[in-house]
Amino acid sequence: MTALTDLERRLETKTARVGVVGLGYVGLPLILRLSEAGFPVTGFDVNARHLARLVDGRSPFNHIADAEVAALTGRDTLLTGDFAHAADLDVVILCVPTPLDKYKQPNLDYVINSLKSAAPYLHSGMMVSLESTTWPGTTEEIMQPIIEAQGLTVGTDVALVFSPEREDPGNAHFTLRQIPKVVGGVTPACLSAGVLLYSAIVDQVVPVSSTKAAELTKLLENIQRSVNIGLINEMKIIANAMGIDIFEVVDAASTKPFGFTRYTPGPGLGGHCIPIDPFYLTWKAREYGLNTRFIELSGEINGRMPHYVVDELVARLSEVSGLAIRGARILVAGLAYKKNINDLRESPALEIMTLLRGMGADVCYHDPLIPTVPRTREYGDLEGMASVDINSRQWDGAIVVTDHDSLDSAALLARSDVLIDTRNIYGGSRHPEAGKKIFVA
């Protein structure tokens, strides 16, 4: 019996111990599903405070219940920051961030450092899977050499696969189990092991011919969204200049039963995928002498949206109230990057607040799901700010950035002299205050 044949037997019988590195928005739902499916699991995270919270059975995310985390710790589970426990594993899955640096260059430090931490404990008969979004070639060009430096041969001793995460935090319509899983392996034997693992936890596995194909699949999914969002954001700017309600136009276009996909504009991109992933492909494409003008243009448009929103607020304050932005009392409603979750990664609200503060505005925010601003990579000056009550004062201006269901839109309207609505919660031109107090941006 070969090493990978034995691994497949353990995967089929769910006796394989599966380790997940990184217990954040991707890794935590994955380890919960693995445990629910019957696998013994080990979770690794280098954030001691985050790890302690999980060990106590408390969820760090509002879309994952404490009871789910508590059930995890009640099963055959180990949560640790010590990579020596990787020696006891049959599978290692990396679910760590792949951010961009300040020059929009890929930063794979989390992937490389996590794999190097586990590498001394890798052994024959294991599988290593990368779920973090990255450029095509990462699995073979970056991960494979680290593994084989341990004297192990990928495809014979170790199965190496790439299976991109498709998490959508807060989406109640699709659980991890219901979302098809794309899997690519370095060799056919690697792919076979990957399909066995993921078939045990999701309803549909989609095998592809290589890890590169799987890596590019994830980029295509998110680049398509980025390009379409860039288009609708540019259409919003044009419509506003022409005095046309873009949301009315989107509603009308959406009645076409074919050939049109509904996208709505907003204040800019947020989250861990759409603002970042396209630049992984633009960076890699340069290696082949290719320019990705379409992708980069959409990124440029989307990246400018916070500036557009702030410019609209400045103009409307002057027009309606005769106020300058310096010293104006401004409320940003919603800090999360999308509604009904407490995730603020890459949220346009952070950029909007920073721009306003740079102009001398007195800026506060309201978000019941994010009581204080945590530490972020780029917005250290905002750390520790606390959410305020909408009714705590009268606001010279307010911006709806995130349309949480819990947002008291009536109170926000009553307490704001000028209101910039980026999410159409007030119905655009159909509201009696449209063009007087409420403005779409």
Question: Residue 29 belongs to a domain with what CATH number?
Answer: 3.40.50.720
> Residue 94 has which token pair?
């990396």
User: What does the pLDDT look like over 163-216, one tens digit per residue?
Assistant: 999 988 878 888 999 999 999 999 999 999 999 999 999 999 999 999 999 999
Q: Are residues 280 and 427 in the same domain?
A: yes
- The pTM (predicted TM-score) of the whole model is 0.92
Task: Look at residues 208, 223, 254 and tell me which one is the last residue of a structural domain.
Answer: 208
Residue type, 259: G
> Residue 25 has which token pair?
């928005």
Instruction: Give the active site residue among 95, 190, 273, 364.
Output: 273
Who contacts 69 (Cβ-Cβ below 8 Å, separation ≥6)?
28, 32, 54, 57, 58, 59
The answer to whether residue 237 sits within a structural domain is no
The answer to whether residue 157 sits within a structural domain is yes
Find tokens 């594993």 and name the residue.
Answer: 89
CA proximity to 163, closest of 195, 115, 201, 122: 195
Q: Are residues 162 and 62 in the same domain?
A: yes
Q: Total domain count for the chain?
A: 2
Angle, CA of 340, 341 and 345, to the nearest 5°: 135
Q: Which segments of the chain have a pLDDT < 50? A: none
Q: Are residues 196 and 320 in the same domain?
A: no
Q: What is the pLDDT at residue 1? A: 56
Task: Look at residues 149, 184, 208 and tell me which one is the last residue of a structural domain.
Answer: 208
Give the whole-angstrom CA distance, residue 103 versus residue 108. Answer: 14
Q: What is the pLDDT at residue 174? A: 87
Is the Cβ–Cβ distance between 97 and 180 less than 8 Å?
Answer: no
The answer to whether residue 170 sits within a structural domain is yes
Phi and psi angles of residue 91, each rounded to the nearest 5 degrees, phi first: -140, 135
Q: What is the pLDDT at residue 73? A: 81
The answer to whether residue 46 sits within a structural domain is yes
Angle, CA of 325, 328 and 332, to the nearest 5°: 95
Q: Are residues 317 and 179 in the same domain?
A: no
Give the whole-angstrom CA distance, residue 248 versus residue 429. Answer: 8
364 among known catalytic residues: no
Q: Are residues 200 and 51 in the same domain?
A: yes
Buried b (16+ CB within 10 A) or exposed e, 84-98: ebbeebbbbbbbbbb
Q: Are residues 196 and 273 in the same domain?
A: no
Q: Are residues 202 and 264 in the same domain?
A: no
Q: What is the CA radius of gyration of the chain?
A: 24
Range of the domain at 83: 3-208
